[in-house]
Structure 1
Amino acid sequence: MKAEAWVFGITALFVGVVSPAYWFLTEDPTGTSALVMTTLLFGMVTLYLGFHASRMDPRPEDRKEGEIADGAGELGFFPPYSWWPLWCALALGVIVYGTALAAWWLVFIGFTVGAVVLCGFIFEYYRGEHAH
């Protein structure tokens, strides 16, 4: 993760240098604040990656003598298809539509359906065909 920390650190440094230059050239407070927040965000990610890179064993791609075969093995669980995100998006759409129309009964229906659908999405892999 040291390579990733370096990439984010160099980007944070670049945006940190560009931010005052942008302010002096344009005097635009909106763009300058966005650049400053971007600098802080990249700095935060740099600190996180650098902190964890110093505390963990180097990955095969982080070592100079690392081989491709060193990274072989199980990479994790990748879920198959799921219909639950579609229903969650539709429930959120009903909530937003009800809010825009000030139809609070529609918002209530959206929250009720959304709670049921969200429970189904969360507990999807605890039952049925893909249970663990």
Structure 2
Amino acid sequence: MRASIFVFMFSAVFFVIVGVIYGFATDFGELAGFPALLLLGAMSAMIGIYLWLTDRRVGRQPQDNDDAEISDADADYGMFSPWSWWPITCAGAAAVAFYGIAMGWWIFPFGVVIGIVALIGLTYEHDRGDFAH
């Protein structure tokens, strides 16, 4: 985790410096690149600070140990259903909703309704049918 902290904090400093240089090079008249580079530096710093705080709280991780085995980093990532169609339905609902924002607001409610149905189906898929427990 310490290598990740270094990469993100170095990136944050780099992007802020490049953003300031870019701002001076364009006389701060170009309002897309300068703020984008500063925000990229801010987001990199946020990730770096989060990783640093997590590293302080959790302690030494297997990826920091040179003698660690791959199995040392194994963790339970949760239960996922490889047979489930609900994630595809959620993605379709998001696509319809964003299409509605871009093309016409009257399409957006259809995406919201499909999204609500998809989230309910995703939440309760293990409580009904053959896979209920």
TM-score (norm 2): 0.75
Q: What RMSD over aligned residues (CA atoms) do the two structures have, in Å?
A: 2.8
- 1:68-110 Cα offsets, whole Å, 9 max, x none, are 156165443352242112222333444455663454xx65554
Aligned to 1:51: 53
TM-score (norm 1): 0.75
Cα 1:102–1:36, aligned 2, differ >3 Å: closer, same or farther? closer
Tell me the CA shift for residue 33 of structure 1: 0.5
Q: Kindly indicate whether the alpha-carbon contact (under 8 Å) linking 2:97 and 2:112 is maintained by their aligned counterparts in 1.
A: yes
Residue identity opposite 2:50 in structure 1: Y
Cα 1:24–1:101, aligned 2, differ >3 Å: closer, same or farther? closer
Q: Which has the higher helix share?
A: 1
Question: What is the CA–CA distance in structure 2 between the aligned matches of 1:125 and 1:43, rounded to whole Å?
Answer: 39
Identity %: 32
Structure 2: which 5+ residue stretches go unaligned? Answer: none
Q: Kindly indicate whether the alpha-carbon contact (under 8 Å) linking 1:85 and 1:121 is maintained by their aligned counterparts in 2.
A: yes
Structure 1: which 5+ residue stretches go unaligned? Answer: none
Aligned to 1:20: 20
Q: Kindly indicate whether the alpha-carbon contact (under 8 Å) linking 2:62 and 2:73 is maintained by their aligned counterparts in 1.
A: no
Aligned to 1:7: 7
Per mean C-alpha deviation after superposition, the further-off stretch among 33-42 and 83-92 is 83-92
Q: Kindly indicate whether the alpha-carbon contact (under 8 Å) linking 2:12 and 2:42 is maintained by their aligned counterparts in 1.
A: yes
Question: What is the CA–CA distance in structure 2 between the aligned matches of 1:89 and 1:69, rounded to whole Å?
Answer: 33
- Structure 1 consecutive aligned stretches of length 4 or more whose deviation exceeds 6 Å: none
